[in-house]
Amino acid sequence: MRFLLVALGGAVGAPLRYLIDRAVEARHDTAFPWGTFAANAVGSAILGALTGAALSTTVPQQVQLLLGPGLCGGLTTYSTFSYETLRLAEAGSRFLAAANVIVSVLAGLGSVYLGLAVAEAVFR
């Protein structure tokens, strides 16, 4: 049953990542991978909120599996982030590659913290 919950969440998260990426990239004509950046930030915020809710209340393990490794695991993508960073560096855009690493890590951590703080405030 656990496997199915993670698979179901991933089945929603992966297409959602694709849709976010396409929607954001359609609005930005730049080499910077804004779509992956946005998907990772959204997924990090959701995971932070889930963690905050789980720490403040009793969130059933099924919900944690569905949303944590399932939805957020499918929504966020370290492999695409790594590939796009490497692609930028190989194309000679080393500044953008470094900016992608720094800004993505900071945004991910900030999003997790923001989601955690919001959930703790709501559930306390």
Task: In whole angstroms, give the CA distance from residue 60 to residue 73.
Answer: 18
Mean pLDDT over the full length of the chain: 96
Rounded average pLDDT over 42-51: 97
124 vs 17, higher pLDDT: 17
Three-class DSSP category at 76: coil
pLDDT range class, residue 58, cuts 50, 70, 90: confident
Task: Please check the confidence at residue 90 and state whether its pLDDT lies above 90.
Answer: yes
Annotated binding residues for Na(+): 73, 76
Residues of the chain above pLDDT 90, percent:
94
Annotated binding residues: 73, 76
- Output helix, strand, coil percentages for the chain, rounded to the nearest 5: 85, 0, 15
| Model pLDDT, residue 116 | 96
What is the domain partition of the chain in residue ranges?
2-123
Cβ neighbours of 22 (radius 10 Å): 10
Task: Please check the confidence at residue 124 and state whether its pLDDT lies above 90.
Answer: no
The pTM is what? 0.92
Token pair listed for 97: 């590659």
